[in-house]
Amino acid sequence: MSMAFRLSKHETSVISAEDTSLEHLDSSVEMHSRSPSPAPLVFNPRKLRFADDDFDKDHPQESPQNIKKRSQSTATAHRDVDMSPPCQKVRALRLFNTPATPKTILQKSTSNCNHLSAVAAAANAAAAARNELSKIPDRPRSLPLHNHRTLQPQDTANVNPFTPDSLMAHNKKRCRTQFGRENLNVNTVQRFLLGEPNDEDATSQVAGNGGFGIEAVREINQQAPKRLALHDTNISRFKREFMQVSVIGVGEFGVVFQCVNRLDGCIYAIKKSKKPVAGSSFEKRALNEVWAHAVLGKHDNVVRYYSAWAEDDHMLIQNEFCDGGSLQARIQDHSLGESELKILLMHVIEGLRYIHSNDLVHMDIKPENIFSTMNPTAHKLGNSWETTYLNAVRDDDGMDSVYEELRSSENLVTYKIGDLGHVTSVNEPFVEEGDCRYLPKEILQEDYNNLFKADIFSLGITLYEVAGGGPLPKNGPEWHKLRHGEVPVIPTLSKDFNELIAQMMHPEPNERPSSMSIYSHPILSAVDSKSKLQLGLELTVEKRKNEILMNKLREAKKQIKLLEQRVSVLATANTPDPLDGQRCLRSFTRRMRTPFGSHGKFPNLADRNKNVITNV
């Protein structure tokens, strides 16, 4: 159970030897901390404790039920002033033996298995099935039903509930009843993809109604009643494939390592669940994160996903390594100015727009879950041609220094949304509340009608915090004020930016701007979003690139000239000189005419030549 507890801010913790959650860490591992704290193995604060100190101080006698009830009331701000956000407490309750206990979590977790989409299932399982498919000579034959009992775990594949599939999104109900499963076996997928002869109308049903044929459905119902257990997929990869460099972060759920892949030599961030999750109630949470990453990890402003696997019953996720650390670490020593905030907003809103366009929501946007890269190739200096160009020239000698210059600059940064453990679908939400400091009130009231706007609120309050409005309250009057439209003005920001933040934190979700409208907000026009310093730096870099290219051009021209000269010399040398021919001829004829030859008459070559020349 301790795993569900979050580290409080005060608990900037030191990993101790007895911390079982870190039993798999090498003792030699150094903590790579971007916080100013010099202590080794000091972690950035993560989410809150459920039994939060402040909370307990504020409400020592409060019964959890009252807290929840009060949170759900729509009482006025003043009445709410004494009330604290219940989410952490409610979550705590769920973990103990009360009506809303682990059972609830587990039930929810099991019911969430119905997130299925049959076509999405087919599409996902298709990848796993591809190898098998290639072995099939002709149209596949269906397995006799009794054969299903002998199916091996490796013949099945999970269904990713986040796969964007509009077909099934429109047939949710049907989908739930028909495909209330989390995995499909390869034969069913084959049959769906290749079309079973006696499933002819099934194929048309798939297109028209989003369903399989009756027989296929029956087959699915005969199959494994639960999802592919992590335990069954355990594989040993971590030590074999990766070289562990350091620990880069610790959250409620996982420890994140910086690793180098032994084969490709690139750096990755590998997140490993702190405790074994296979078979536990956290298995679903772990899989959720993998599913979300697999669907969303392709956008420049979402942490890229490479692979995931289960090892020793732990979940491991191999992600892009973000060398700039978390936003939380970046703001340890200073708040962000408006120009930096605009860049942050521009990047995060692009990521959110992408997530939202997949009908998914993040549900845990906060500085600890926004990472950054300082790699200029990842940064959008311009269009993608520029990235391609930079990639193309990066191996060239001169670019290394330019690269270094970019890398050392704190001003070139790409922000990426990470930690997708709370992602859920808006069509069939399974909401696991994130950090209550960043949650809007409606989520605590279990109003999930406009989840997109919950992300917008969290981003708004994140901007407010990193601009200098933090630290954010976890409960109490200040917590409520921020959710009742009483957002203090940040003096260092323009009126427009303050207004935008306040609008994003509007108490009424529908009044908050959408990710799309923020994206096209005039405040984020391309020029405005870059600081003078950044523009200056980019200009310098462009000039340097230009210089290098000009030098190369000059060098290339020189080489071409030299080559041309050599070619003309060679050409001249190869052309037979008529005079030379005459000379040879004459010497030859002379030699022929001289019965003694040259040897006896002329002791050395010079004399002989002299003779020839004389003859000429």
Ligand X SMILES: Nc1ncnc2c1ncn2[C@@H]1O[C@H](COP(=O)(O)OP(=O)(O)OP(=O)(O)O)[C@@H](O)[C@H]1O
Residue of 291, 321, 354, 457 interacting with ligand X (CB under 6 A): 321
Q: For residue 67, give the H/E element and its range.
A: helix 64-72
Residue of 52, 338, 368, 465 interacting with ligand X (CB under 6 A): 368
Tell whether residue 250 is among the known ligand binding residues: yes
Minimum Å gap between C-beta 9 and ligand X is 12
Residue of 9, 33, 46, 119 interacting with ligand X (CB under 6 A): 46
Residue of 421, 440, 460, 509 interacting with ligand X (CB under 6 A): 421
Q: How far is 507 from 496, CA to CA, in rounded Å?
A: 19
Q: How far is 295 from 235, CA to CA, in rounded Å?
A: 23
Structure tokens at 472: 């954010």
Residue of 15, 322, 390, 456 interacting with ligand X (CB under 6 A): 322
The answer to whether residue 319 forms part of the interface with ligand X (CB under 6 A) is yes
**Between 213 and 434, CB nearer to Mg ion:** 434
In 10 A of CB 99, how many CB atoms? 9
246 phi/psi in degrees, rounded to 5: -160, 170
Spatial CA neighbour of 123 closest among 175, 155, 161, 85: 161
Minimum Å gap between C-beta 419 and ligand X is 3
- Cα 395-401-403 angle, rounded to 5 deg: 65
Tell whether residue 272 is among the known ligand binding residues: yes
Characterize the bridge pairing of strands 242-250 and 30-31.
parallel
Residue of 253, 430, 452, 457 interacting with ligand X (CB under 6 A): 253
The answer to whether residue 181 forms part of the interface with ligand X (CB under 6 A) is no
Quick one: residue 222, left, alpha or beta (phi over 0 = left, psi -120 to 50 = alpha)?
alpha
Q: How far is 218 from 242, CA to CA, in rounded Å?
A: 43
**Between 369 and 515, CB nearer to Mg ion:** 369
Tell whether residue 253 is among the known ligand binding residues: yes
Structure tokens at 31: 């903590």
Tell whether residue 317 is among the known ligand binding residues: no
The answer to whether residue 326 forms part of the interface with ligand X (CB under 6 A) is yes
Q: How far is 512 from 382, CA to CA, in rounded Å?
A: 30
**Contact window for ligand X (CB under 6 A) among 164-172, 244-252, 445-453, 591-599:** 244-252
**Between 199 and 320, CB nearer to ligand X:** 320
**Contact window for ligand X (CB under 6 A) among 44-52, 57-65, 112-120, 455-463:** 44-52
| Residue 364 annotated to the active site | yes
Tell whether residue 271 is among the known ligand binding residues: yes
The answer to whether residue 203 forms part of the interface with ligand X (CB under 6 A) is no
Tell whether residue 255 is among the known ligand binding residues: yes
Three-state DSSP at 415 gives: strand
Q: How far is 529 from 345, CA to CA, in rounded Å?
A: 9
The answer to whether residue 297 forms part of the interface with ligand X (CB under 6 A) is no
Q: How far is 387 from 384, CA to CA, in rounded Å?
A: 5
- Cα 554-558-560 angle, rounded to 5 deg: 115
The answer to whether residue 419 forms part of the interface with ligand X (CB under 6 A) is yes
Characterize the bridge pairing of strands 414-417 and 370-373.
antiparallel
**Between 86 and 251, CB nearer to Mg ion:** 251
Minimum Å gap between C-beta 434 and ligand X is 7
Orientation angle between helical segments 495-504 and 338-357, nearest 10 degrees? 30
The answer to whether residue 418 forms part of the interface with ligand X (CB under 6 A) is yes
Residue of 271, 293, 483, 512 interacting with ligand X (CB under 6 A): 271
Residue of 159, 224, 248, 500 interacting with ligand X (CB under 6 A): 248
**Between 211 and 351, CB nearer to ligand X:** 351
Residue of 256, 349, 423, 451 interacting with ligand X (CB under 6 A): 256
Tell whether residue 42 is among the known ligand binding residues: no
The answer to whether residue 254 forms part of the interface with ligand X (CB under 6 A) is yes
The answer to whether residue 464 forms part of the interface with ligand X (CB under 6 A) is no
For Mg ion, the binding residues (CB under 5 A) are 251, 369, 419
**Between 156 and 369, CB nearer to ligand X:** 369
Minimum Å gap between C-beta 327 and ligand X is 9
Chain centroid to Cα 351, Å, comes to: 10
168-188 as b/e, with b when 16 or more CB fall inside 10 Å?
Answer: bbebbeebbebbebbbbbbbb
Neighbouring residues of 115: CB distance < 8 A, sequence distance ≥ 6: 161, 425, 428, 430
Question: Which member of 155, 165, 199, 364 is catalytic?
Answer: 364
Orientation angle between helical segments 200-209 and 214-222, nearest 10 degrees? 90
Q: How far is 301 from 50, CA to CA, in rounded Å?
A: 31
3-state secondary structure 74-85: CCCHHHHCCCCC
Tell whether residue 324 is among the known ligand binding residues: no
**Contact window for ligand X (CB under 6 A) among 9-17, 67-75, 111-119, 413-421:** 413-421
Q: How far is 534 from 130, CA to CA, in rounded Å?
A: 47
Minimum Å gap between C-beta 326 and ligand X is 4
Look at residue 253 and give the partner it binds from Mg ion, ligand X, none, a contact being a CB closer than 5 to 8 Å depending on partner kind: ligand X
**Between 276 and 325, CB nearer to ligand X:** 325
Minimum Å gap between C-beta 28 and ligand X is 19
**Between 31 and 116, CB nearer to ligand X:** 31
Q: Could you give the C-alpha distances from 44 to 13, 34, 412, in angstroms and in order?
A: 8, 9, 23
Look at residue 372 and give the partner it binds from ligand X, Mg ion, none, a contact being a CB closer than 5 to 8 Å depending on partner kind: none
Minimum Å gap between C-beta 477 and Mg ion is 27
- Cα 13-18-19 angle, rounded to 5 deg: 45
Tell whether residue 413 is among the known ligand binding residues: no
**Contact window for ligand X (CB under 6 A) among 90-98, 140-148, 316-324, 451-459:** 316-324
Beta bridge partners of residue 314, listed in sequence order: 311
Structure tokens at 539: 């200009």
**Between 121 and 303, CB nearer to Mg ion:** 303
Q: How far is 54 from 477, CA to CA, in rounded Å?
A: 13
Tell whether residue 62 is among the known ligand binding residues: no
Radius of gyration of the chain (CA): 34
186 neighbors 220 (Cβ within 8 angstroms): no
Residues at the annotated binding site? Answer: 248-256, 271-272, 369, 419
Residues that bind ligand X (CB under 6 A): 6, 44, 46-47, 248-249, 251-254, 256, 269, 271, 303, 319-322, 325-326, 368-369, 371, 418-419, 421
Residues at the annotated binding site for Mg(2+)? Answer: 369, 419
Positions marked catalytic = 364
Residues at the annotated binding site for ATP? Answer: 248-256, 271-272
